[in-house]
Each structure stands twice: as structure tokens, then as C-alpha cells.
Amino acid sequence: MTSATLRPASVAAAPALRVRGLTLSYDGRRVVDGLDLDVPAGEVTVVVGPNGCGKSTVLRGLARLLRPSAGSVRLGVDGSDDDVWSLRPKEFARRVALLPQSPPLPEGITVVDLVGRGRHPHHTVMRRWSAADDEAVVRAMRATGTLELAERHVEELSGGQRQRVWIALTLAQETGVVLLDEPTTYLDVAHQIDVLDLLRDLNRRQGTTVVMVLHDLNLAARYADHVVALRDGRLVGSGAPGDLVDEEFVARVFGLGSRVIVDPVTGSPLVVPASTHQQSGPSS
């Protein structure tokens, strides 16, 4: 098996999400300012940037949690092209899923019950739970390796297992686009890798468009097909990690001196930070 068969060809397909002139504000304070962005369909897009650069806010804008003060977000999955705000809530929820950073956990809930709540957008007043919902839950739990935990209370699970269950909820929604806000927060390094492997597998197997915010630039470079870098609410660069991430890029986005080498395991760029007080790496 070669990487070519696993990796979707990066042809210029219609973007899953097309953002134009997006301006997002909290109480009149502009956090994202006139952002233009294409999220390629069927790829893993990772949004990076320093703290407070507006990356989570962009995700909220894409997920319709924050109404833009200017600009638009258009959704183009399966040949459709709709302004996200023109869709009814459940219609949107059948196309785009979001996993927030740390959603509150309902007390006493079991794994199956929590995952099943992801089926809500597929229900109507007339049509409640059906066998199709059970099958979707099984698929989501199978993909996340959480079937063994089905009867357990989510409170009893470890952080890594819990995050898998939350992802299973998002997958049970069966959307073409999945947005995740820092899915690796609070996880140790092994579980971070585990969760990101899982998301990439999902993308490779089902062609799900994945957009996530990540803190860690090296994990972003390792898992992204497409990196989007923000600073102060503006786009400072986007592209394949191999083309985009170099020493100059790290300095421009994070104001950090570094050396960028080739990751011996994955072949992706690996950022070795120097110090924020130096603008270039140690003498080479």
C-alpha cells in the first residue's frame, strides 16, 4: 500500500465550506475580520494560530453558533451550495457536526445514551427512534472503538475513552463535515495521537471533511492535509503543511524562533522551538 492510495487526490474540488469576508464579533469587539477561506472537501483541515487569534471563533462561525456581522459561510456538500444561515437548524445539523472543546456531561448518562443523542437531527415529531438510529450508533461506536464501553457510565471512563465517546456522538450525527474544537485538550500524548489517528482514519475511509482547531503545531503538520494559519483574526497563510510550515512561517504566525526539520516518522515538517526572545534559530 502506498500513500497515494490512501490520500485523496488534492484536486481542486468544490470546497466543502466557502468563507467570504467573514467578520465575527463578541459584543461589538471584532475577533475575526474579513476572513476568506476555502475548506477543501474530503480533506483534514487544521486551523492553527497563537492564543486569542480567533481560531475557535472561526469554528463557531462555521458551526452557526455565532452570526457574522459581515460576510458569509456557504456550505457545498454533495453538489449543494447554501448559505449556512439559510438552512433550518436540523437540516444544517444533518450536514455539519461540531464537537465543542469540553461540553458538559449529563449526570448518570451511559455511553450508548450519550452517543444516541447525536441522532437528534434525524428525528421528527412523527419519527422518533428507529432501527436505523441503532445502526448509526453501532457504526459510530465501532469507528471509535467504544462498543466495549456501551453499558458503562461516561463518568467512570478515562479522559481518552471519554473523548472517543464524544467523537462517537459527533459521528452518529452522520454528517459530511465534522468540526472539532481542540479535540486533544487534556489528553496525554498517546491519547492525543490515538484521537487524531481515529479522525484521520474516518476521513480516509468515509471521505468526511474534518476541520479542527489544534494547539500543537507539530500535530497539525502531521495530521493536516490543509493548514490554515490565523493571527489577530486574519488569515496569514494556508496550504499543505509541507509547503507552508517553515521557519519563516513559525516566526510570522507565532513570533517564535525555531528550526523546522523533517519528522523522521511521518516525513511532515517538525518544528523545534528555539526561544520567543530570538527571531531566528540557533546558529546553524
User: Residues in the site for another protein, rule: CB under 8 A?
Assistant: 1-3, 6, 60, 63-65, 89-90, 92-94, 96-100, 103-104, 106-113, 116-118, 120-121, 134-135, 137-138, 141-143, 145, 147, 150-151, 153, 155-156, 173, 197, 200-201, 204-205, 264-267
Nearest distance, CB of residue 7 and another protein, angstroms: 8
Nearest distance, CB of residue 244 and another protein, angstroms: 17
Nearest distance, CB of residue 243 and another protein, angstroms: 16
Cβ-based neighbours of 37, under 8 Å, separated by 6 or more: 17, 18, 19, 22, 58, 228, 235, 238
Nearest distance, CB of residue 258 and another protein, angstroms: 22
| Identity of the residue, 117 or 127, whose beta carbon is nearer to another protein in the bound complex | 117
How far is Cα 26 from Cα 5, in angstroms, rounded to an integer? 44
Cell digits of residue 73: 459561510
Nearest distance, CB of residue 50 and another protein, angstroms: 23
State the distance between the two ends of the chain, measured CA to CA, in whole angstroms.
37
How far is Cα 99 from Cα 121, in angstroms, rounded to an integer? 15
How far is Cα 114 from Cα 105, in angstroms, rounded to an integer? 9
| Identity of the residue, 81 or 197, whose beta carbon is nearer to another protein in the bound complex | 197
| Identity of the residue, 2 or 284, whose beta carbon is nearer to another protein in the bound complex | 2
| Strand order across the beta sheet in which 82-83 lies | 29-39, 17-26, 70-75, 82-83
| Identity of the residue, 236 or 240, whose beta carbon is nearer to another protein in the bound complex | 240
Angle (deg, nearest 10), helices 159-172 and 131-144: 140
Q: Are the CB atoms for 245 and 260 separated by under 8 Å? A: yes
| Identity of the residue, 46 or 253, whose beta carbon is nearer to another protein in the bound complex | 46
